[in-house]
Amino acid sequence: MKIYQNILIPSEIDRISMDISDLCFAELDSSWQKENVSSLYTRIYCVKSGRGFVYCGGKTIELTAGNIYIIPSELEFSYKCDERLEKYYFHIQVMKDGKDDIFAQIKDIIILKNKQMDIDFLDKYWNENNLCSVMFLNTFLYGIVFESLASTNINTYIERYSAQINRVIKYIEENLNAKMTAGEIAAAFNVSESFIHKAFKREIGISINKYISQKCLIAAKSKLRLSDLSIKEISESLGYCDQFYFSRKFSQEFRMSPSSYRKQSGEQL
């Protein structure tokens, strides 16, 4: 008997996460129209019936029944419906190490054709409030993500980090706070602060301070979308000295204020 193990995959699975901020079924009419839309999440449209249109990069894409359309985050587009459109839609972010949505690298709309059977299954499980329906939806979305990424030429190579850096990343995630320092982390692992700085920059490609800042701001995005906490409460929960400093850092990182991001995340498409 021979057993072959891929030792890379188990350690990498936890580095990939999918954040689902919206999953809804929409019955749309001619009021569904907007120009020059761009968001920090990826949209998935699963068209059940009717017809709509998306305009992107000088192209007109017709939304038709039986197809699935993936609109990457940060891509600017417009949309409209002339009469009637029924679709399931999802707003997701697929992140590696808590960084920006992987789909932000893609600069065009992805179309998965002839998916009527998948949409029929989605129809079947949509209103069943049980574990099977939850597992189906999770598998369904990861399947779409897989097909979408496989159809592109973006870099999905998995970097391999040392055990020490993996432990540092886990420590940061479990103790996330904007006031966290490299000195605190070095003390937790009984190594020098200089070692932490050099090793982290060498393997991750950015400074440890920048990484902590990015993780805090990404956590703030989730809180803005998924909670009713005020901006002040969110900034305090993540260790920022005041909400004005937090808002400035958020705007620098994501090119919009926390309040604008919260408003945009509430869009129902």
**pLDDT tens digits for range 75-91:** 889 999 999 999 999 99
CATH number corresponding to 12-150? 2.60.120.10
Whole-number pLDDT of residue 203: 85
Domains of the chain by residue range: 12-150, 163-265
Given a cut of 80, is residue 242 above it in pLDDT? yes
**Cα dist. 24→84, 110, 137, 154, 261 in Å?**
16, 20, 12, 29, 20
Give strand ranges (E) for the chain.
16-28, 33-37, 42-56, 59-64, 68-71, 77-80, 85-96, 110-112
Q: In the chain, pLDDT over 70 holds for what percent of residues? A: 89
Length of the chain: 269
User: Can 12-150 and 163-265 be said to share one CATH topology?
Assistant: no
CA distance 93 to 19: 5
Q: Are 20 and 92 within 8 A, CB to CB?
A: yes
The whole model's pTM is what?
0.68
Q: Which CATH architecture has domain 163-265?
A: Orthogonal Bundle (1.10)
Whole-number pLDDT of residue 150: 87
Whole-number pLDDT of residue 22: 83
Q: Are 218 and 41 within 8 A, CB to CB?
A: no
**pLDDT tens digits for range 131-152:** 988 899 999 999 999 999 888 8
Chain centre to alpha carbon of residue 250: 16
